[in-house]
Chain A
Amino acid sequence: MASYQDYLLHLADNALILGQRNAEWCGHGPVLEEDLALANNSLDLIGQARLLYQHVATVRKDGKSSEDLLAYFRDVPEFKNYTLLELPHSTAILPTSRGDRDYAVTVARNFLYSALMVQVWGALTASTDAQLAAIASKSLKEAQYHLRHAHDWVLRLGDGTDESRRRMQAAMDYLMPFTQEFWTPSAMESAAVKIGAGVDVTAFKTEWEAIVADTLQAATLRCPPAKGFVTTGKHGVHSEHLGFVLAEMQSLARAHPEAVW
């Protein structure tokens, strides 16, 4: 049965999985400044996830939940992140996270996600859950920087060389259908909205589409349709890619439970 805790986990998993994906660029960034930018972006996202997992552990009051347990000892069907956020940094379907990475995909995903989250966090600052409101007020400021960063790169790559433009367009074409999942209803979101702690994400659709359309136009890109198969990551039914992400992210904690340094 879906509960408010599932909604908090949904927010946390989104941040953690995208943070883990963006951290794959650490030491491999296209230029030094972008290596730093993505590492900082990941720190913010993983920091947001930590605060949310800590909050869930506190709410549960079962004495055994902890941020580490929630991050490292749940399996694929228990993760509630958008499928968009677990995809490799590539337009090609790759069997693992180790394939060639395309920075255009990274930029496109961060843009599509942060354009949503500046609105979600903004609205959640008025949540009836005071702790979630506090987390939202911090995360909002971070999401603003992430949006600005991704927005600038969509413009730079889209209105850049023939090759950068082709790849930026391909990235948007590939990722746009995955954004349909933002607007699909779920029991956990309904549960959170009902008690005033969560927000109805569909309220942000018009603004989100306007930001995306304006940015793509400014970047001389075509705005691809969001149509086709609707993914179901937030319901726990994921793509084949999340398993590889978790295998890499969780292996150390599972090999050495409760290890500290």
Chain B
Amino acid sequence: MQTPAPSTGTAATSGLPDGPLAQSRQSQAHHAVWELLESVTDPEIPVVNLREMGILRAVRAGPGGLEVVITPTYSGCPAMGQMEDDIAAALAAAGVAARVITQLAPSWSTDWMTAEGRDKLRAYGIAPPVRGACAASDNAKGIVFAARKGLGQADTVACPQCESDNTTEISHFGSTACKALYRCLSCMEPFDYFKPF
């Protein structure tokens, strides 16, 4: 699996996925589309936009015109349709003609979230995913090995409220498919944890 380098910078100048983007940055029109789509946020987590989530992958020239490429998160994520509609609406409102393309491979990873996106999640009360914790999932043998050793080892997650590491998992599955439910044993607040994926 290819993962882009972690981002430390700000909008539209870094934190963007690799590959086609290197070329797309050269294009003023593509750059304008990236800027435009800064306003399109995750329907479930409205403080982060789709670029920061790593969902928005590329803006490129296709055979039929401009293409905006997005990668779905979970197979059954009910927000994906909404994201496509929101992108299309934002483009239409700005008078930009572009097609929204959904691309499955390489599959989305929480490691694609930008640093600013992770900070925004934390400020919103959602603990961001532990980096690289999903690395074993590329290898079936690794999962099998983990299963034998006991898969129940939950990640060590810092409380987004008080930053304590003294937290415990309440449930692997939380309010949405992408989150787990945790509780902080220091400040006693429950919180969502965005699972590594």
Contact = CB atoms under 8 A, between A and B. Distances in A.
B139 interface: yes
Chain A interface size, as a band, is: 35 or more
A140 B137 CA distance: 7
B12 to A, nearest CB: 27
Contacts of A50: 75-76
A64 B80 CA distance: 24
A44 B140 contact: no
A210 B148 contact: yes
Interface string A105-120: 0000000000100110
Interface residues of B, number: 36
A14 B74 CA distance: 18
A3 to B, nearest CB: 23
A164 interface: no
B61 to A, nearest CB: 22
Contacts of B177: 40, 43-44
Interface in A103-150: 115, 118-119, 121-123, 125, 130-131, 133-135, 137-142, 144-145, 147-149
A151 B151 contact: yes
A83 interface: no
A140 to B, nearest CB: 6
Given A47-B77, A141-B137, A141-B197, A211 B106 contact: no
Contacts of B175: 36
Interface string B106-142: 1110000000000000000000000000100111110
Contacts of B137: 140-141, 144
Nearest to B149: A214
Contact of A135 (B76, B78, B104, B140): B104
A24 interface: no
A43 B144 contact: no
A122 B152 contact: no
A152 B152 contact: yes
Nearest to B179: A40
B172 A147 contact: no
Interface of B is mostly: loop
A50 B78 CA distance: 12
B4 interface: no
Contacts of A231: none
B74 A118 contact: no
B181 interface: yes
A148 B145 CA distance: 12
B107 to A, nearest CB: 4
Contact of B104 (A41, A134, A210): A134
Contact of B140 (A33, A41, A45, A123): A123
Contacts of A145: 172-173, 195
A237 interface: no
B167 to A, nearest CB: 16
B139 to A, nearest CB: 7
Given A33-B171, A118-B144, A131-B104, A51 B151 contact: no
Given A147-B151, A152-B151, A118 B143 contact: yes
26 contacts: A33-B173, A34-B171, A37-B171, A37-B172, A40-B173, A40-B176, A41-B173, A42-B76, A123-B140, A125-B138, A130-B105, A133-B105, A134-B104, A135-B104, A137-B105, A137-B106, A137-B138, A142-B75, A144-B137, A145-B173, A147-B147, A148-B152, A149-B172, A152-B172, A214-B148, A215-B147
Interface of A: 33-34, 36-37, 39-48, 50-51, 115, 118-119, 121-123, 125, 130-131, 133-135, 137-142, 144-145, 147-149, 151-152, 155, 207, 210-211, 214-215, 218
Given A43-B177, A151-B151, 12 more contacts: A36-B175, A36-B181, A40-B173, A48-B75, A131-B104, A134-B104, A134-B107, A138-B74, A147-B147, A148-B172, A152-B151, A215-B147
Interface of B: 1, 72, 74-78, 104-108, 134, 137-141, 143-144, 147-148, 150-152, 170-177, 181, 195, 197
